[in-house]
Amino acid sequence: MTDSLISSAYSQALEVIAAVEPRIAEATRQELADQRSSLKLIASENYASPAVLMTMGTWFSDKYAEGTVGHRFYAGCQNVDTVETLAAEHARELFGAPYAYVQPHSGIDANLVAFWSILANKVESPYLARMQAKNVNELSEADWETLRHEFGNQRLLGMSLDAGGHLTHGFRPNISGKMFHQQQYGTDPETGLLDYGAVAAKAREFKPLVLVAGYSAYPRRVNFAKMREIADEVGAVLMVDMAHFAGLVAGKVFTGEEDPVPYAHLTTTTTHKSLRGPRGGMVLAQEEFAADVDRGCPMVLGGPLSHVMAAKAVAFAEARQPSFQTYAQKVADNAKSLAEGFLTRGANLVTGGTDNHLVLLDVSSFGLTGRQAESALLDAGVVTNRNSVPADPNGAWYTSGVRLGTPALTTRGFGHEEFDTVAELIVDVLSNTEAGTTKAGGPSKASYVLGDGVADRVTKQSAEMLDKHPLYPGLVLS
Q: Which residues within the stretch 42-81 sit at the binding site for ligand DSN (CB under 6 A)?
A: 44
Residues 165, 215: contact at Cβ < 8 Å?
yes
Q: Which residue is nearest to ligand DSN (CB)?
A: 44
Q: Which is nearer to ligand DSN, 381 or 405 (CB)?
A: 405
- Out of 155, 273, 330, 386, pick the active-site residue: 273
Tell me if 357 is assigned to a ligand binding site: no
Helix (H) or strand (E) holding 99: strand 99-101
- Out of 84, 109, 162, 241, pick the active-site residue: 241
Q: Which is nearer to ligand DSN, 125 or 216 (CB)?
A: 216
117 secondary structure, DSSP code: H
Can 241 be counted among the known catalytic residues? yes
Interacting residue with ligand DSN among 176, 216, 306, 400 (CB under 6 A): 216
Tell me if 248 is assigned to a ligand binding site: no
- Out of 55, 68, 269, 270, pick the active-site residue: 270
Instruction: Judge residue 229's burial from the number of C-beta atoms within 10 Å of its C-beta, 0-12 exposed, 13-18 middle, 19 or more buried.
Output: middle
Q: Which is nearer to ligand DSN, 242 or 422 (CB)?
A: 242
Dihedral, CA of residue 312, residue 315, residue 319 and residue 321, to nearest 10: 130
Q: Which is nearer to ligand DSN, 63 or 312 (CB)?
A: 312
- CB 438, min distance to ligand DSN, A: 29
Can 124 be counted among the known catalytic residues? no
- CB 106, min distance to ligand DSN, A: 8
- Out of 29, 130, 279, 295, pick the active-site residue: 279
- CB 168, min distance to ligand DSN, A: 8
- Out of 28, 45, 64, 221, pick the active-site residue: 64
Listed residue (97, 69, 90, 52) closest to 308, CA to CA:
52
Can 257 be counted among the known catalytic residues? no
Tell me if 301 is assigned to a ligand binding site: no
Q: Which of helix, strand or coil describes residue 440?
A: coil
- Out of 45, 66, 188, 333, pick the active-site residue: 66
Residues 262, 96: contact at Cβ < 8 Å?
yes
Instruction: Judge residue 189's burial from the number of C-beta atoms within 10 Å of its C-beta, 0-12 exposed, 13-18 middle, 19 or more buried.
Output: exposed
Tell me if 469 is assigned to a ligand binding site: no
Residues 289, 296: contact at Cβ < 8 Å?
no
Count of Cβ atoms closer than 10 Å to residue 466 Cβ: 21
Q: Which is nearer to ligand DSN, 127 or 218 (CB)?
A: 218
Q: Characterize 440-457 residue by residue with b for buried, 16 or more Cβ atoms within 10 angstroms of its Cβ, and e for exposed.
A: eeeebbeebebeeebbeb
Residues 36, 42: contact at Cβ < 8 Å?
no
Can 464 be counted among the known catalytic residues? no
- CB 216, min distance to ligand DSN, A: 4
Residues 66, 304: contact at Cβ < 8 Å?
yes
- CB 141, min distance to ligand DSN, A: 37
Give the count of residues interacting with ligand DSN (CB under 6 A). 4
Can 40 be counted among the known catalytic residues? no
Residues shown for the chain:
478
Q: Which residues within the stretch 92-121 sit at the binding site for ligand DSN (CB under 6 A)?
A: 107
Q: Which residues within the stretch 26-45 sit at the binding site for ligand DSN (CB under 6 A)?
A: 44
Q: Characterize 111-145 residue by residue with b for buried, 16 or more Cβ atoms within 10 angstroms of its Cβ, and e for exposed.
A: bbbbbbbbbbbbbebebbeebeeeeeeeeeeebee
Q: Is 160 among the residues that bind ligand DSN (CB under 6 A)?
A: no
- CB 46, min distance to ligand DSN, A: 12
Can 55 be counted among the known catalytic residues? no
Residues 165, 107: contact at Cβ < 8 Å?
no
Tell me if 93 is assigned to a ligand binding site: no
Residues 211, 227: contact at Cβ < 8 Å?
yes
Listed residue (218, 265, 270) closest to 243, CA to CA:
270
Q: Which is nearer to ligand DSN, 166 or 330 (CB)?
A: 166
Q: Which is nearer to ligand DSN, 44 or 411 (CB)?
A: 44
CA 265, distance to chain mean position in Å, is: 19
Q: Which of helix, strand or coil describes residue 408?
A: helix
- CB 174, min distance to ligand DSN, A: 10
As annotated, the active-site residues are: 64, 66, 241, 270, 273, 279
Positions touching ligand DSN (CB under 6 A) are 44, 107, 166, 216
Cite the annotated binding site for (6S)-5,6,7,8-tetrahydrofolate by residue number.
161, 165-167, 287
Cite the annotated binding site by residue number.
161, 165-167, 287
